[in-house]
Amino acid sequence: MPPTFSGRRIAAGVLTAAVLVPLAACGSDGGSEDGASGAPDTRLTVLAAASLTDVFATAGAAYEKEHPGTNVTFSFAGSQELAAQVEQGAPADALVTADTKTMAGLESETGTPTVIAKNRLVIATGEGNPEGIKGLADLTDSRLKVVLAAPEVPVGRYSKQILDAQKLTVKPVSQETDVRAVLSKVALGEADAGLVYRTDAASDVDRVDAVDIPDGQNAVASYPAATLRQSENAEAATAFVRWLGGPEAQKILQDAGFQKP
């Protein structure tokens, strides 16, 4: 079956501020004032890589508890989609991508980035690994339905990197726009296997098993965070990015399976 790229029809022009809809929000509904100071609440919008969906829900709640009067809203997508949103002027305060390359391409739009976490890839299979997949070489079996992220997506680029290094040719049945879409295909039984981040596989242990990839065959994903120059809350955005590198956020990230930066 020829591969399909489900995000190929998404033009950059569509990814404007009009389509920036927060997918997860921490904090109360808008308009309220801080009862102690009388100052309006500070509202931060953070664009974040899809693989951070679960851990940032925890981190956002912790940050709000530590910073009363600050509400953090996250919008999750593939890093390449987030970059397009930034370039289109979507209203946001900070950005966290799943690779340094995407962040480097936005140098004129961001402050100085800092890496807050690292990650590695695993082979995601259905619960119980029914196909008995043991390593990367097994993904070349034409009888398997393998799904990957598109090469424009950080996890897709990492996947291509490690497969090319082993001189393996894998023909995916689909190429997805972010890592969560790959995970979902495997979890729903629409694919036998896919390459995802270790933390994503760990987020759905009831439906997905993870086959480790040896370090010598693996790739390390780095997650840089930066403020956005277009932010109207520059001071608060800087404080949030700095907090992500601090001990409380680092514990949350590492408890979720992310590696130290």
Q: Tens digit of pLDDT for each residue in 169-199?
A: 999 999 999 999 999 999 999 999 999 999 9
For 108, 122, 148, 149, 223, the CA distances from 139, given in Å and listed in that order, are 40, 12, 11, 14, 27
133, 197: one domain: yes
| Domain range enclosing 130 | 120-220
CATH of residue 185's domain is 3.40.190.10
Q: How many CA atoms lie within 13 A of 255 on its CB side?
A: 11
Q: What was the pLDDT predicted at 25?
A: 43
Residues 229 and 107 in one domain: yes
Asked whether residue 24 is assigned to any structural domain, the reply reads yes
Whether residues 114 and 226 fall in one domain? yes
Q: Does 7 map to a domain?
A: no
Residue 125 included in any domain: yes
Would you state the pLDDT for residue 41? Answer: 87
Same domain assignment for residues 97 and 55? yes
21 & 150 share domain: no
Instruction: Indicate the pLDDT class of residue 254, thresholds 50, 70 and 90.
Output: very high
Q: Are residues 135 and 94 in the same domain?
A: no
Which phi and psi angles does 222 have, rounded to 5°? -105, 140
Contact predicate 213/123, CB 8 Å = yes
Residues 235 and 110 in one domain: yes
Q: In sequence order, what are the residues at sequence separation of 6 or more whose Cβ sits closer than 8 angstroms to the Cβ of residue 35?
A: none
Residues 248 and 127 in one domain: no
Which residue bears the tokens 């933390």? 199
State whether the Cα torsion 161-166-167-170 is positive or negative. Answer: negative
User: 3-class SS at 89?
Assistant: coil
Q: By three-state DSSP, how is residue 261 classified?
A: coil
Q: What is the C-alpha separation between 236 and 227, in angstroms, rounded? A: 10
- pLDDT surpassing 70 at residue 13: no
Looking at the chain, the whole-number percentage of residues with pLDDT higher than 70 is 85
What's the per-residue H, E or C state across 171-228? CCCEEECCHHHHHHHHHCCCCCEEEEEHHHHHCCCCCEEEEECCHHHCCEEEEEEEEE
Indicate whether 260 belongs to any domain: no
61 & 152 share domain: no
CA–CA gap between residue 169 and residue 258 (Å, rounded): 28
Count of structural domains, the chain: 2
In a domain, 148, yes or no: yes
